[in-house]
C-alpha cells in the first residue's frame, strides 16, 4: 500500500538469476579451472616475493587507514530534538491548562511554546521534509505521498523510486545532518521520515518513514480465514481462504521474482499450522516451531526467502491468532526487513541496525509500523491494534534511551509517530458529529487520544531528567489534527464539470491509477490528497491544454469553481482555499508539483480513490472507515506545536526554521546559514 494512506503498490520485483546466470557462470568457472594449474605453479615458484608484496600492501593499507580516519570531534554541546508527529495545539494547550501534561508545562516555563506553521500541503512526508531541510517542497522535491509520470500517466509512491536496482533517495535537498557532518558535529538520527535509504553522515542514522516491508510495499499484511471471502477489493492486505481442519498448510508471502520475460510472482514459504484444542495452535516452517494462543501476539519470527543465485531476503514478522472457533482467523503482520541483515541498507553505518538489535532485540523496521488497514478492514480489533502501538512505542523509547545514555555531544533526533496514528484511528470516539460516533462506546477508547498525549509527556519527562544546564531541547510536531467526516471524490467532480472524461462511464467508476480516462478530451485530473494536474500539451504525453495563458485561465476557472463548491448535505464549503502551484512552491522542483492544491475545509478530505487517481461513488460521501481523524485540510487550520528550553525570538515560527536553528546551535554563523538558501531562519 502507499504508506498506510493508499492502496498496496506493486512493490519490488527481483530478477531470478538462478537458472540462466548460473549456467553462464559455470562456463567462466570451467575456463578458470583450465588455467588454475598454471596459476598454482606460478605462485609456488614465486612464493617468497609474493608473500613480501602482500605484507607491504597490508602495511600500506594500515597507514592509509590511520591517516584517513576521521578525527574525533571537539563539539561537546548537546542539541536534542524530539519529533512527535501530530501533536495538536487544540488538544495540548487545554491539557496543559488542566495540569494533565506536567512535563510539557515545565518545558514551556523553562523557555518557549508556540504554534508551528506546517507545510502546504500538511502531509507528513512533506512536512518532515521541510523540517529536515529547512526548505519548501519546490526545493526538496517532496509534494505528496504520490507522484505521477506525465509522459506515461504512471503513478507511484514517492518512496518507491529505484535507481539501478536500488532504492533511490526521495529527498532532493540536504538534511540538517549533511550540514552538521561537514563540520564534524556528530548526529544520531532515529527514524526520521524521508530518510530511506539512509544517508552517509558523521554519526548514525536509522531510516524511518519510507522503509518498505519485504514485498517492497509500505505494509501489506496476510490474513487467513474460514469465513467466505468478500468479493470487494482488499486495500491493506492479502486475504486467503482457510479451513477449520486440524492441520493446514499456508504460506508466508515474500518478494516478487521474475526471470527474463516472465511475469513476476511472489516467492512463498509454506508453513504447517496444527490446531491444539480450542485456543491454541502450533506453526512450523524452516525448522522452526512457534506456539500460538488465541488473543495473544507472538514474538518475532524469522523467515528466509530464496531469491536465487545465493541471494536471500531475511524478514521478521508476528502472528496473531484471532480465533479458532466458530471460524478460523490468523493474521500475519507485514514482513519487515530483519535489521541484522536487511535486503537493502536501512541504517548508516550499515551495521547500525544490527547493533540496535544486538542491544535491544528485534524491532519494527518498516517505516510506518502500525497496521492501520488491518484495523480499518476489521481484521484486528481496537484492543489488538493498541497492543501493537504499545510495542512500537516501547521499541522507539528504548532506542532513545540507549542513545541518550551514550550521548556525549552533537545532535540527537528521535521521531515518535504514535499520537498521529492513534488520532487517525480513534478520533471517531471523541467527535459526536462523526458518522461512526457511538455515545455508548467503551470509555477507555474515548480517552485514548489524551492517554497517548500523556505518554508523550512521560517520554519528555525522562529526557528532561537527563538534560544538562547548557543543553538545548526542542520538541515539535509537524502539524495538528481534526475530524475527517466527509470524503471527497475530486475526479468525480472534475468529470461532472466536464474537465475529465471517462472512456466508459459505467465501467470506469471505481478504477484507480488514472485508468479508464479519455485523455484526448480530458483537461484536468486529480491525484494525491488534493492535487489537481492540468493535462497540458508538451508536458503530459496526451495533453490537450496549451501551456501559458490557456493553462492559467483553466486553473483560475477550476479554482474559482472549487472555492464555490458547497456540500449540500450540510450547506458547508468543501474547500477553504485552492492554491496555485506558483504561489506555494519555489525552487528547481516546483514544476513537478500539482498545478492546483485543494486546501479542504476541516472535516472534508480527498478520498482514498482520489489519492490514487481513481473514481468514487458520487461527489461526497460520509467517511465510514475507522480512519476517522486527519490533518489533510487547509494548512492554516492544522498548525503544529513547538516547545524549547531556549527562548524563541522569531514570531510565527515554521517547520522550515528548525534546520537553521540546529545549524546555529552547531556553530554556523548567520551569514553561513543565509548562504544555504533556507526558507526559514534560526529561532534562537
Handedness of CA 610, 615, 616, 621 (dihedral sign): positive
For 250, residues 6+ apart whose C-beta sits below 8 A from its C-beta are 224, 240, 242, 270, 271, 273, 330
Choose between 372 and 277: higher pLDDT.
372
Please give the pLDDT value at position 4: 40
Structure confidence at residue 362 as a pLDDT band (50, 70, 90): very high
Flag whether pLDDT at 507 surpasses 70: no
Choose between 66 and 239: higher pLDDT.
239
The pLDDT tens digits for 570-628 are 999 999 999 999 999 999 999 999 999 999 999 999 999 999 999 999 999 999 999 99
**CA angle at 417 for the pair 415 and 423, rounded to the nearest 5°:** 150
Flag whether pLDDT at 381 surpasses 50: yes
Q: What is the mean pLDDT of residues 417-435?
A: 98
Please give the pLDDT value at position 413: 98
Structure confidence at residue 192 as a pLDDT band (50, 70, 90): very high
| Three cell numbers written together for 152 | 506515461
Q: How far apart are CA 430 and CA 611, in angstroms?
A: 26
The torsion of the CA quartet 621, 622, 624, 628, rounded to 10 degrees, works out to: 120
Looking at domain 78-211+367-481+639-684, which of 1.20.1180.10, 1.10.10.10, 3.40.720.10, 3.40.190.10 is its CATH number?
Answer: 3.40.720.10
CA R_g for the chain: 27
Please give the pLDDT value at position 674: 96
Q: How far apart are CA 283 and CA 320, in angstroms?
A: 12
Flag whether pLDDT at 183 surpasses 90: yes
CA atoms within 13 Å, Cβ hemisphere of 612: 20
Helix (H) or strand (E) holding 403: helix 382-405
Flag whether pLDDT at 666 surpasses 90: yes
Every domain of the chain with CATH number 3.40.720.10 lies at 78-211+367-481+639-684
Contact 185, 667 (CB under 8 A): yes
Q: Residue 287 gets which letter from DSSP?
A: T
Handedness of CA 517, 153, 197, 400 (dihedral sign): negative
Please give the pLDDT value at position 22: 44
Handedness of CA 233, 522, 597, 624 (dihedral sign): negative
Q: How far apart are CA 491 and CA 526, in angstroms?
A: 6
The pLDDT tens digits for 193-217 are 999 999 999 999 999 999 999 999 9
Q: What is the mean pLDDT of residues 247-266?
A: 88
Q: How far apart are CA 239 and CA 96, in angstroms?
A: 44
Flag whether pLDDT at 295 surpasses 80: yes
The pLDDT tens digits for 51-95 are 555 656 555 554 444 444 344 557 889 999 999 999 999 999 999
Handedness of CA 551, 553, 554, 560 (dihedral sign): positive
Please give the pLDDT value at position 159: 87
Please give the pLDDT value at position 13: 65
Instruction: Tell me what the pLDDT averaged over the chain comes to.
Output: 90
Structure confidence at residue 232 as a pLDDT band (50, 70, 90): low
Q: How far apart are CA 385 and CA 331, in angstroms?
A: 12
Nearest alpha carbon to residue 298 among 316, 278, 277 = 316
Q: What is the mean pLDDT of residues 167-191?
A: 96
Return the bridge partners of 304, or none: 314
CA atoms within 13 Å, Cβ hemisphere of 102: 4
DSSP 28-43: HHHHHHHHHHHHHHHH
Q: How far apart are CA 412 and CA 191, in angstroms?
A: 11
The pLDDT tens digits for 587-598 are 999 999 999 999
List the beta strands (DSSP E) in 430-537: 472-476, 482-488, 524-527, 531-534
List the beta strands (DSSP E) in 318-405: 319-323, 329-332, 336-337, 347-348
> Among residues of the chain, what percentage have pLDDT more than 70?
87
Please give the pLDDT value at position 24: 44
Flag whether pLDDT at 10 surpasses 80: no
Q: How far apart are CA 27 and CA 523, in angstroms?
A: 57
Flag whether pLDDT at 230 surpasses 50: yes
For 341, residues 6+ apart whose C-beta sits below 8 A from its C-beta are 314, 354
Q: What is the mean pLDDT of residues 497-510?
A: 75
Global pTM reads 0.90
Find the range with the poorest average confidence among 33-47, 122-136, 415-429, 450-464: 33-47
Flag whether pLDDT at 27 surpasses 90: no
Please give the pLDDT value at position 45: 61
Amino acid at each position: 500500500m502507499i504508506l498506510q494512506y493508499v492502496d498496496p503498490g506493486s512493490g519490488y520485483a527481483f530478477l531470478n538469476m538462478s537458472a540462466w546466470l548460473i549456467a553462464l557462470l559455470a562456463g567462466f568457472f570451467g575456463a578458470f579451472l583450465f588455467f588454475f594449474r598454471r596459476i598454482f605453479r606460478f605462485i609456488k615458484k614465486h612464493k617468497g616475493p609474493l608473500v613480501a608484496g602482500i605484507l607491504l600492501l597490508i602495511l600500506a593499507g594500515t597507514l592509509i587507514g590511520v591517516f584517513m580516519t576521521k578525527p574525533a570531534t571537539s563539539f561537546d554541546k548537546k542539541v536534542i530534538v524530539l519529533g512527535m508527529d501530530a501533536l495538536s495545539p487544540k488538544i495540548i494547550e487545554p491539557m496543559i491548562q488542566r495540569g494533565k501534561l506536567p512535563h510539557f508545562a515545565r518545558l514551556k516555563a523553562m523557555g518557549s511554546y508556540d504554534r508551528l506553521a506546517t507545510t502546504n500541503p500538511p502531509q507528513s512526508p512533506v512536512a518532515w521534509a521541510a523540517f529536515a531541510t529547512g526548505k519548501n517542497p519546490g526545493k526538496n522535491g517532496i509534494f505528496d505521498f504520490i507522484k505521477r509520470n506525465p509522459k506515461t500517466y504512471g503513478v507511484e509512491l514517492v518512496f518507491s523510486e529505484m535507481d539501478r536496482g536500488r532504492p533511490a533517495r526521495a529527498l532532493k535537498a540536504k538534511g540538517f545532518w549533511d550540514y552538521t557532518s561537514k563540520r564534524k558535529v556528530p548526529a544520531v538520527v532515529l527514524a526520521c521520515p524521508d530518510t530511506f535509504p539512509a544517508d552517509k553522515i558523521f554519526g548514525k542514522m536509522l531510516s524511518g518513514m519510507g522503509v518498505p516491508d519485504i514485498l517492497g510495499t509500505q505494509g501489506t499484511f496476510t490474513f487467513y480465514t474460514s469465513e467466505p471471502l468478500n468479493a470487494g477489493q482488499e486495500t491493506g492486505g492479502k486475504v486467503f481462504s482457510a479451513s477449520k481442519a486440524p492441520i493446514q498448510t499456508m504460506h508466508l508471502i515474500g518478494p516478487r521474482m521474475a526471470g527474463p520475460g516472465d511475469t513476476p510472482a511472489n516467492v512463498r514459504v509454506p508453513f504447517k499450522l496444527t490446531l491444539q484444542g480450542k485456543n491454541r495452535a502450533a506453526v512450523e516452517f524452516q525448522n522452526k516451531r512457534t506456539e500460538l494462543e488465541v488473543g495473544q501476539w507472538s514474538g518475532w519470527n524469522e523467515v528466509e526467502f530464496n531469491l536465487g543465485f545465493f541471494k536471500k531476503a531475511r524478514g521478521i514478522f508476528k502472528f496473531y491468532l484471532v480465533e479458532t472457533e466458530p471460524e478460523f482467523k490468523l493474521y500475519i503482520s507485514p514482513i519487515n526487513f530483519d535489521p541484522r541483515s536487511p535486503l537493502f541498507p536501512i541504517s548508516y553505518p550499515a551495521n547500525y541496525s544490527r547493533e540496535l538489535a544486538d542491544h535491544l532485540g528485534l524491532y519494527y523496521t518498516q517505516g510506518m509500523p502500525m497496521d492501520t488497514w488491518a484495523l480499518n478492514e476489521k481484521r484486528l480489533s481496537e484492543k489488538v491494534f493498541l497492543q501493537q502501538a504499545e510495542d512500537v512505542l516501547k521499541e522507539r523509547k528504548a532506542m532513545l534511551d540507549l542513545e541518550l545514555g551514550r550521548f556525549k555531544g552533537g545532535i540527537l533526533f528521535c521521531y515518535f509517530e504514535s499520537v498521529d496514528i492513534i488520532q487517525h484511528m480513534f478520533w471517531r470516539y471523541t467527535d459526536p458529529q462523526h458518522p461512526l460516533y457511538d455515545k455508548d462506546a467503551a470509555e477507555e477508547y474515548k480517552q485514548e487520544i489524551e492517554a497517548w498525549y500523556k505518554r508523550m509527556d512521560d517520554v519528555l519527562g525522562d529526557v528532561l531528567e537527563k538534560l544538562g544546564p547548557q543543553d538545548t531541547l526542542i520538541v515539535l510536531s509537524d502539524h495538528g489534527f481534526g475530524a475527517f467526516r466527509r470524503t471527497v471524490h475530486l475526479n468525480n467532480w472534475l468529470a461532472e464539470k466536464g474537465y475529465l472524461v471517462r472512456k466508459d462511464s459505467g465501467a470506469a467508476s471505481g478504477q484507480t491509477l488514472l485508468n479508464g480516462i479519455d485523455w484526448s478530451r480530458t483537461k484536468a485530473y486529480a491525484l494525491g490528497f488534493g492535487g489537481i494536474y492540468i493535462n497540458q500539451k508538451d508536458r503530459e504525453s496526451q495533453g490537450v491544454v496549451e501551456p501559458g495563458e490557456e493553462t492559467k485561465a483553466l486553473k483560475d476557472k477550476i479554482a474559482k469553481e472549487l472555492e464555490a463548491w458547497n456540500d449540500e448535505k450540510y450547506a458547508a464549503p468543501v474547500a477553504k482555499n485552492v492554491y496555485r502551484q506558483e504561489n506555494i512552491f519555489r525552487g528547481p522542483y516546483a514544476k513537478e508539483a500539482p498545478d492546483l492544491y485543494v486546501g479542504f475545509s476541516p472535516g472534508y478530505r480527498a478520498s482514498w480513490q482520489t489519492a490514487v487517481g481513481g473514481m468514487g461513488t458520487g461527489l461526497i460521501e460520509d467517511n465510514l472507515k475507522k480512519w476517522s481523524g486527519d490533518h489533510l485540510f487547509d494548512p492554516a487550520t492544522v498548525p503544529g506545536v513547538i516547545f524549547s528550553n531556549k527562548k524563541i525570538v522569531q514570531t510565527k515560527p515554521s517547520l522550515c526554521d528548525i534546520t537553521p536553528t540546529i545549524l546555529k546551535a552547531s556553530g554556523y554563523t548567520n551569514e553561513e546559514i543565509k548562504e544555504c538558501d533556507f526558507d526559514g531562519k534560526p529561532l534562537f
